[in-house]
Structure 1
Amino acid sequence: MTVSTRHLPLVNRRRGLFIFLGVAYIGMWAAMSPLLASGYRRGSAREETGALEQVCIAAAMLAPALAAILVVRCVERSARVRDTLALRWTKPWGRAARACLMAFVVPAGLTTAALVIGTFAGRYPFDGVHWNGLGAWAAASVLNMLVSLPLFFGEELGWQGYLFPRLAQDGDRRSLIRAYAITGAAFALWHLPTLLMGGQYPGRPWYVSVPAMLVSCLLILPVFTWLRLRSGSVVPAVIGHAFVSSVSVAMVTEFADSKAALDPLHMSMAGWPGWIVTGAFVAFLALTGRLQPSFYTARTVPHPASIRRL
Structure 2
Amino acid sequence: MTIAKGSAASPPSLAGWRRRGPLLYFALACAGMWLAMTPLLAGGFQRADARDQPGLLENACISAAMFAPALAALVVLRHVERIGRLRDALALRWPRPRGRAVRSCLLAVAVPAGLTGAALALGTLAGRYPFDGMHGSGLGTWAAEGLAGMLLSLPLFFGEELGWQGYLFPRLLRDGSRAALVRAYLLTGTAFALWHLPTLLMGGQYPGRPWYVSVPAMVISCLLVLPVFSWLRLRSGSVVPAVLGHAFVSTMSVGMVRHFADPDAPLDPLHMGIAGWPGWLVLGAFVAFLALTGRLRPGTTRQA
Gaps of 5+ in 2: none
TM-superposed deviation, 1:18:
2.1
TM-score by length of 1: 0.94
Aligned partners of 2:240 and 2:298: how far apart in 1?
Answer: 17
Aligned partners of 2:79 and 2:232: how far apart in 1?
Answer: 28
Partner of 1:300: none
The answer (yes or no) to whether the contact 1:103–1:236 under 8 Å persists in 2 is: yes
Partner of 2:4: 4
Aligned partners of 2:83 and 2:53: how far apart in 1?
Answer: 43
TM-score by length of 2: 0.96
Partner of 2:187: 182
TM-superposed deviation, 1:257:
0.4
1:293 match: secondary structure? coil
2:282 equivalent among 277, 285, 292 = 277
Partner of 1:116: 121
TM-superposed deviation, 1:26:
0.2
* Deviation string, structure 1 residues 130-168 (Cα, Å, up to 9, x no partner): 101110000000000000000000000000000000000
Q: Which aligned runs of 4 or more in structure 1 are off by greater than 3 angstroms? A: 5-8
Query: How do 1:62-81 residues align onto structure 2 when only pairs under 5 Å count?
Result: 62-81=67-86
Aligned partners of 1:127 and 1:251: how far apart in 2?
Answer: 12
The answer (yes or no) to whether the contact 1:3–1:83 under 8 Å persists in 2 is: no
Q: Which amino acid aligns with 2:95?
A: T
The answer (yes or no) to whether the contact 1:68–1:158 under 8 Å persists in 2 is: yes
Query: How do 1:124-135 residues align onto structure 2 when only pairs under 5 Å count?
Result: 124-135=129-140
Aligned partners of 2:150 and 2:275: how far apart in 1?
Answer: 18
Aligned partners of 1:127 and 1:5: how far apart in 2?
Answer: 53
1:93 lines up with 2:98 in the alignment: yes
The answer (yes or no) to whether the contact 2:91–2:303 under 8 Å persists in 1 is: no
Partner of 1:14: 19
2:160 equivalent among 152, 155, 158 = 155
Aligned partners of 2:92 and 2:74: how far apart in 1?
Answer: 11
Partner of 2:241: 236
1:263 lines up with 2:245 in the alignment: no
1:131 match: secondary structure? coil
The answer (yes or no) to whether the contact 2:290–2:296 under 8 Å persists in 1 is: yes
* Deviation string, structure 1 residues 232-270 (Cα, Å, up to 9, x no partner): 000000000000000000000000000000000001100
Query: How do 1:134-213 residues align onto structure 2 when only pairs under 5 Å count?
Result: 134-213=139-218
TM-superposed deviation, 1:9:
2.6
| Percent of residue pairs identical | 68
Aligned partners of 2:47 and 2:5: how far apart in 1?
Answer: 41
The answer (yes or no) to whether the contact 1:2–1:84 under 8 Å persists in 2 is: no
Aligned partners of 1:218 and 1:127: how far apart in 2?
Answer: 30
Gaps of 5+ in 1: 298-306
The answer (yes or no) to whether the contact 1:2–1:232 under 8 Å persists in 2 is: no
